[in-house]
Chain A
């Protein structure tokens, strides 16, 4: 099976348990096991190839120009780890089926577990460091879900957060290191990087890369001083601990060091950092483990200690060290997973796992006792169990290692660590399973069902099998993986139990005897330990987190004060400052364009624009006046567009001007009509200074631009040359919009539609609750004209309506070849509609408005999209247009272009958006008018909803309730009328009871 598929299988299966959990825990577990088993089977099919020294690869180019390829490979190291991950995963799935109770969300558990498993398999099979990084982060995230699985436990949540913070930060550090490494090697493929040992170690970036990568590895593998997160992660359910802390998560850091071993190791820096950290971790964690009463905490620290051992071995940089590391990875995974599962069984069956409360379980739980004892003896390093073999190798290697020319330091420390290790392993057994029968336990302990003990039993069997016949059971795997770690060409000596009386054997004997002695003298030591004050990692971690949080809050609150004028001021100052810097540090080329001559009309417009703008600034306190003045500015700009050869822009600007003015007037209906002077003279002076500076800067920039030619030929030449040939249109601006740059326009009408929907949502929110009552209570602050709907205006707009629509159609149709097009036609039609609303009233118009504006927006986007997708039938990319000429009898030859369909979408989108936006404001005005006219008129708040729309005629004044209702709404109409009647009654009652409160 291909490596990519093996890595993908757990992900593919991840959704299944959550779905199948409805049919029971067993099915959820079975489907998880099925996918895991398939992946394992697929992996093992490749075993012969890999054993023979081969590599199985899948290469998929993903983003080759970034060096990001989905390359998977199975080499010896990947094979070893993937087997452990999937094999132990299978056992954990079985175990968890019996461990988790019916009340736990078991489906989620298996989903998380499979996600995590997939991420782990991904790490070990990746042949690309960028890909590896993605999986690395995925393990951090999915382990967060697993550790925090019992969401109701605060310890679980805190432990999960701590694990995520530490491993996540480590992951960031590793990303940086890996990128450096990839840059040195010139490739991000691991198999390629591994070929560049000399270049990497000679590079000046070797040390930074090494430190950063080790930052990732040490945090993940809980090495000193980052070891503190692992014990807190023990708040997870035991199957999670057994999986994450025996075979997977924490081994990822070791895997990384082993993976990069061929290129990073062998230098003094590697030795002194990695070996020292490993040794310190091994020693300190073993010492702490002795004094832990919680079985899982003891195992957690022992895990940290054993990880330290493996790190220490990798840090030696020798082949013997690599061999010991690989062998101990296998052995530790087997005995530690068995021990965690045993601790889980004790917890599950006895209700506690506190070593001071339980004792004498030997008689009550014989099977568990046997399993735990086998695993613990292996952990202690007793002969005939697998832990002995690799611990011997470690001691043997330590015996020959010097630290700064000191030949006794390392062997002594290693022996002490082994001694502590033996002590806590013995303590686990003697305090838990020996001694008098337990009293006062929450439950009466007994052996668990078969399904729960078979997994650890199988592992215990492996412990003995490897311990007795190392070469036959594990030899092939060890040779294969060690060969991969050291980069090939490795031939292992036979793994055997008896090497004669070696220094390692003597150290081992000292460790075991010393361990027993220390256990006997445990009580006084425990008292001493309890009495000594120690730094508490969690307290320190929480302190740092709190400080960082308050720092972040301080920065945010300092910058984000809610004073928008200040943000804008700072922004302007920065922009002007940066511009000034660019101007001062750059050079200005010579002027290459002659000035265009000026005529009287231009000067007049200029004077008009300047005067209007200045007047806005001077008289903006009178808001209506400001609105009139801004209209002048807009019109002048439109005229300038015509003058400067931009007829399309002029048409657009002038139509937008009208709808904007209507919009602002609708808003001013509510807003105060006067702005009072609030700023101090100093602020006004400063603002004037700043604005003038910005104005001068922009002015200078555009003047410089206008008086110089383009530095490079622009795309415009292409557009002008091909507008007719390729798109069949003479109006190049329109062709660019609907054809050459159709994608932009497509996005733009979508954005416009979204803006309109946002306005609709805001309106809906304002029409409810407190703001609705405020609206009803609102009274106009300026006197109203007497005639609400002047007859002249009413007649003129109604007569004009069909004409305006025809003009809109004309502008739309000619758009491809003459100034016009969908945007402008849409605006023209929207204006025609808006005038109806203004002249005849919202309710009257809305009742005759047969198309829902939301539908217009949606159909606009859809029509544009479908037209664009039509290009697929032509085997062309999205939005490629086509055109042809058609001759109909009685007509001249005319052109048909698919771009017209696209432009229709633009047209519909623009009409819908403008109308929906203005409609929102009108609806607010209607609600306010409801209060003004007395509650009777409440029903005419015609919403943009069909059923609400038909209410409008009920109270639309001169128009009788029988006014025509679109036929398809007639059913809802009756229901709605009844509903309104009820609603009106309620409104009345509300008004009576609490109308005066607001």
Chain B
């Protein structure tokens, strides 16, 4: 299980970084979403992997998984939605204003 989770995080990170290095806004937004998954799962996994022991207290049950990373990640997921929304809005605004969706301010501007 650990191998699967670790490799999945690695693949998500690699894909996310590759995507944020693109030159247009949409791939960058997608890349950030992928990175968010990677980071959220990473943080969650710092509580170690535990199967079938949710942190919901039950009579007679003594072992539970670590609740703290879960609480952290829960808010992180919601906040990352907020962040994505802001970035999408910025990207959209830039596209509407500038007429293209490049993220770099480079010579392509050619003084328009």
Contacts and interface: CB of A to CB of B under 8 A. Distances in A.
Interface of A: 561-566, 568-569, 572, 593, 595-598, 602-603, 606, 609-610, 613-614, 616-617, 620, 623, 626-627, 630, 633-634, 637, 640-641, 643-649, 652-653, 656, 659-660, 663-664, 667-668, 670-672, 675, 678-679, 687-688, 690-692, 694-696, 698-700, 702-703, 705-707, 709-710, 714-716, 719-720, 723-724, 730-733, 736-737, 741, 744-745, 748, 751-752, 755-756, 758-759, 762-763, 765-766, 770-771, 774-775, 778, 817-819, 823, 827, 910, 913-914, 917-918, 920-921, 924
| Residue of B25, B37, B85 with most chain A CB atoms under a 10 A cut-off | B85
Contacts of A724: 57
B82 A715 contact: no
A670 B9 contact: no
A606 B5 CA distance: 8
Contact of A630 (B5, B30, B49, B58): B30
Interface in B1-30: 1-30
Contacts of B80: 656
A828 to B, nearest CB: 13
Nearest to B10: A699
B88 A663 contact: yes
| Residue of A569, A675, A765 with most chain B CB atoms under a 10 A cut-off | A675
Nearest to B4: A606
B96 A765 contact: no
A870 B1 CA distance: 46
A913 B75 CA distance: 14
Given A675-B27, A720-B64, A752-B79, A733 B70 contact: yes
Contacts of B65: 644-646
Contacts of A702: 5-6, 9-10, 42, 45-46
Interface of A is mostly: helix
A508 B37 CA distance: 85
A591 to B, nearest CB: 10
Nearest to A917: B85
A595 B1 contact: yes
Interface string B54-70: 11111000001111101
A660 B95 contact: no
Nearest to B99: A774
B71 A736 contact: yes
Nearest to B67: A732
Nearest to B83: A755
A755 to B, nearest CB: 4
A758 B86 contact: yes
A917 B28 CA distance: 19
A817 B79 CA distance: 24
Given A702-B5, A921-B92, A613 B15 contact: yes
B104 A564 contact: yes
Given A626-B26, A723-B57, 13 more contacts: A606-B8, A609-B11, A609-B12, A613-B15, A634-B37, A653-B77, A709-B48, A716-B66, A730-B58, A732-B55, A759-B89, A775-B96, A910-B78
Contacts of B89: 667, 758-759, 762-763, 917, 920-921
Nearest to B17: A691
Contacts of A759: 85-86, 89
B106 interface: yes
B104 A733 contact: no
A617 B15 contact: yes
Nearest to B46: A705
A706 B103 contact: no
Contacts of A692: 14
A671 B92 CA distance: 7
A751 B82 contact: yes
Given A634-B37, A645-B50, A617 B19 contact: yes
Question: Which 5 pairs of residues, A with B, have the shortest CB-CB distance?
Answer: A699-B10, A695-B14, A562-B105, A755-B82, A596-B1
B91 A698 contact: no
A709 B78 CA distance: 29
A644 B40 CA distance: 14
Contacts of B67: 716, 719-720, 723, 732-733, 736
A144 to B, nearest CB: 35
A766 B96 CA distance: 8
Contact of B2 (A595, A637, A774): A595
Given A613-B34, A643-B51, A706-B45, A648 B70 contact: yes
Contacts of B5: 640, 644, 702, 706
Contact of B54 (A609, A656, A770, A819): A819
A732 B56 contact: yes
A948 B45 CA distance: 48
Contact of A659 (B10, B64, B81): B81
